[in-house]
């Protein structure tokens, strides 16, 4: 018997990879997305599949459908997008969580929340373990996202304790790969697009802040194995790649791999930008037997190849300048 998965935010970067993966396993997928940051382009290769269904819907409103499991990914993820309409961002996290939890409660099905390393804020503990409560500004420009995701975690755990709901709370660390939106504003897509165009590479601040980057295929593997893990393993669990890099190192790696002549320039550091970020994945290793497989250089090469392809497709057929 095929089972039907609901993927909210399924037309986004991670959601489209997850939908593809679930379909490849023979599952039915209902993709619910309001296309705020996602795009039909991300799922156009799935639309012909009779087991895939797209529904345009905003998760801040109730949703009555019949499914066997729920992956709740709907939420803008890049600072540029989530700060554009902060009220909608926090509504999406909180009202979206209430609605998927209500749905999961009525259907008695498992529900996974795409939480984030942002719940740790600008951390004093390094690397971050799941028992760290975080250091988050409740009133800053990142708060609509950070506090929204923290409140969503609270809702998941309260529904679990109060209604015995089968929950899975996953804390995702910075993830990159093909199908990131070139205009998304996240650091990996920005640097690659800038390097391929020969534009200046924009480092915010002095570039000494760190992030740990996980390749999308590894992340999806972790997400699916978490959903299938024992019912009593509810998380929160960190899923990310512990390889930690400064933004200066990332810029140099992108320049090396693209063979670009771009120069690095420094722009002001955004408010509340976390200084460092590295997942402790001991729990994921122990409970899921999960471990990221893709080194940064290999993942960047695949992502660069994707962006090169986009560039070619975007060029007008009359463009004979020969610029690449
Ligand atoms: P994305 O912006 O590409 O995808 C988010 C999707 O959610 C988009 O398709 C968007 O249109 C949709 N969406 C937004 N608001 C909605 C609403 N109100 N109703 C219905 N759909 C809505 O981002 P992503 O990188 O694919 O992130 C997916 C999830 O993973 C998000 O919840 C994000 O917070 C989480 N996450 C991602 C990362 C990362 O590095 N990519 C890190 C931590 C957490
Ligand atoms: N909900 C939904 N789909 C469902 C069931 C519930 O969208 O199939 C929404 C509905 O808006 C509800 C919310 O989830 O308000 C929370 O549901 P719950 O049963 O926890 O609370 P109640 O219905 O008592 O408010
Ligand atoms: N960043 C940067 N240049 C850019 C975009 C981002 O130096 O063009 C920095 C940003 O200030 C942050 C890091 O890269 O320190 C990661 O930013 P991103 O928006 O990708 O993710 P997040 O801050 O949410 O982890």
Report pLDDT digits (tens) over 108-155. 999 999 999 999 999 999 999 999 999 999 999 999 999 999 999 999
Structure tokens at 292: 């990221």
CB of residue 175 inside a 6 A radius of ligand 3:
no
| Residue 145 annotated as catalytic | yes
Instruction: Name which residue sits closest to atom 12 of ligand 3, judged by CA.
Output: 273
Q: How is the chain split among helix, strand and coil, in percent rounded to 5? A: 40, 20, 45
> How far, in Å, from the CA of 90 to the mean position of ligand 1?
13
Catalytic residue, chosen from 71, 82, 120, 145, is 145
DSSP bridge pairs for 211:
245
CB of residue 105 inside a 6 A radius of ligand 2:
yes
Instruction: Name which residue sits closest to atom 13 of ligand 3, judged by CA.
Output: 187
Of the bound ligands, which one is closest to the alpha carbon of residue 249?
3
Query: Within 13 Å of residue 236, how many CA atoms lie on the same side as its CB?
Result: 28
Q: Domain of 29?
A: 4-175+215-239
Q: How many domains does the chain have?
A: 2
**pLDDT value at residue 310:** 87
> How far, in Å, from the CA of 130 to the mean position of ligand 3?
23
- Residue 158: pLDDT band (50, 70, 90) is very high
| 121/184 same-domain check | no
The minimum-distance atom of ligand 1 relative to the CA of 96 is 18
Q: Ligand 2 test: best mutation among 61, 99, 162, most atoms within 8 Å of CB?
A: 99
| 190/94 same-domain check | no
| 169/191 same-domain check | no
Residue 122 inside a domain? The answer is yes
DSSP 146-164: HHHHHHHHHHHHHHHHHH-
| 167/102 same-domain check | yes
Which backbone phi and psi does 169 adopt, to 5 degrees? -110, 115
- Residue 323: pLDDT band (50, 70, 90) is very low
Task: Check: pTM over 0.85? Answer yes or no.
Answer: yes
Of the bound ligands, which one is closest to the alpha carbon of residue 119?
1
| 107/248 same-domain check | no
For the residues 261-271, what does the mean pLDDT come to?
Answer: 95
| 196/119 same-domain check | no
Residue identified by tokens 């599949």 is: 49
Residue 75 inside a domain? The answer is yes
**pLDDT value at residue 315:** 44
Instruction: Name which residue sits closest to atom 16 of ligand 2, judged by CA.
Output: 102
- What value does the CA radius of gyration of the chain take, rounded to a whole number of Å? 19
């Amino acid at each position: 018997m095929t089972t039907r998965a609901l993927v909210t935010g399924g037309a986004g970067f991670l959601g489209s990879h997850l939908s593809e993966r679930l379909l490849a396993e023979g599952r039915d997928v209902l993709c619910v997305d309001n296309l705020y940051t996602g795009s039909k382009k991300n799922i156009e290769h799935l639309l012909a599949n009779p087991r895939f269904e797209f529904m345009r819907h905003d998760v801040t409103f109730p949703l009555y459908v019949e499914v066997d499991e729920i992956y709740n990914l709907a939420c803008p993820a890049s600072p540029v997008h989530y700060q554009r309409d902060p009220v909608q961002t926090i509504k999406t996290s909180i009202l979206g969580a209430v609605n998927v939890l209500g749905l999961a409660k009525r259907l008695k099905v498992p529900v996974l929340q795409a939480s984030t390393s942002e719940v740790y804020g600008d951390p004093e503990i390094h690397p971050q373990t799941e028992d760290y409560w975080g250091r988050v500004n409740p009133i800053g420009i990142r708060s609509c996202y950070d506090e929204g995701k923290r409140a969503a975690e609270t809702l998941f755990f309260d529904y679990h304790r109060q209604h015995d709901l089968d929950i899975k709370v996953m804390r995702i660390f910075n993830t990159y790969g093909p199908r990131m939106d070139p205009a998304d504003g996240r650091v990996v897509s920005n640097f690659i697009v800038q390097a391929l165009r020969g534009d200046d590479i924009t480092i915010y601040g002095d570039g000494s802040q760190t992030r740990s980057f996980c390749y999308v295929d590894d992340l999806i593997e972790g997400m699916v194995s978490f959903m299938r893990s024992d019912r009593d393993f509810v998380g929160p669990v960190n899923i990310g790649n512990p390889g930690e890099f400064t933004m200066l190192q990332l810029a140099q790696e992108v320049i090396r791999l693209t063979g670009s002549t771009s120069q690095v320039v420094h722009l002001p550091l955004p408010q509340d930008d976390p200084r460092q970020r590295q997942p402790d994945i001991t729990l994921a290793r122990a409970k899921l037997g999960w471990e990221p497989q893709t080194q940064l250089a290999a993942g960047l090469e695949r992502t660069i190849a994707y962006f090169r392809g986009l560039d070619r497709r975007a060029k007008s057929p009359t463009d004979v300048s020969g610029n690449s």
